[in-house]
């Protein structure tokens, strides 16, 4: 086969492994782009118990002299546990991104606000 014939009828090996003749030069010059989108879903009161990201083990935490704590999980989620009123009550708000609840020496409290949690705490 003369060199000129080979130049006029090139064979192109595609990623599929097949050999074929291009119909137009742009068919094989347009790159294929694959986009991977990953959405991080925040921990909320509705999903934190069922999310591996929100229930990952604790990586690091620090407890302050007043009993407050903060740290982060192995998944990178940060958490805080802070006193609600003062050192006289043993009521703290635990927050894990958008999820939160109140913990006390009288048990866990689900409330919409710190005032409501304090009211429930004092009534127990």
Rg (CA), the chain: 30
Beta bridge partners of 80: 70, 95
Return the percentage of the chain with pLDDT > 70, whole number.
69
pLDDT digit string (tens) for 72-110? Answer: 999 999 999 999 987 678 999 999 999 999 999 999 999
pLDDT score, position 7: 46
Give phi and psi for 41, each to the nearest 5. -95, 120
Mean pLDDT across the chain, nearest whole number?
81
Residues 99, 103, 109, 115, Cα dihedral to 10° = -90
């Amino acid at each position: 086969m003369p060199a000129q014939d080979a130049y006029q009828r090139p064979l192109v090996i595609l990623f599929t492994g097949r050999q074929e003749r291009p119909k137009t030069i742009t068919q094989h010059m347009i790159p294929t782009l694959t986009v991977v989108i990953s959405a991080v879903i925040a921990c909320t009161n509705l999903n934190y118990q069922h999310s591996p990201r929100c229930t990952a083990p604790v990586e690091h935490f620090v407890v302050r002299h007043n009993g407050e704590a903060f740290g982060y999980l192995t998944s990178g989620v940060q958490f805080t546990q802070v006193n609600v009123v003062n050192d006289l009550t043993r009521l703290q708000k635990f927050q894990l991104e958008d999820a939160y609840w109140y913990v006390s020496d009288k048990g866990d409290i689900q409330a919409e606000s710190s005032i409501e949690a304090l009211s429930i705490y004092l009534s127990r």
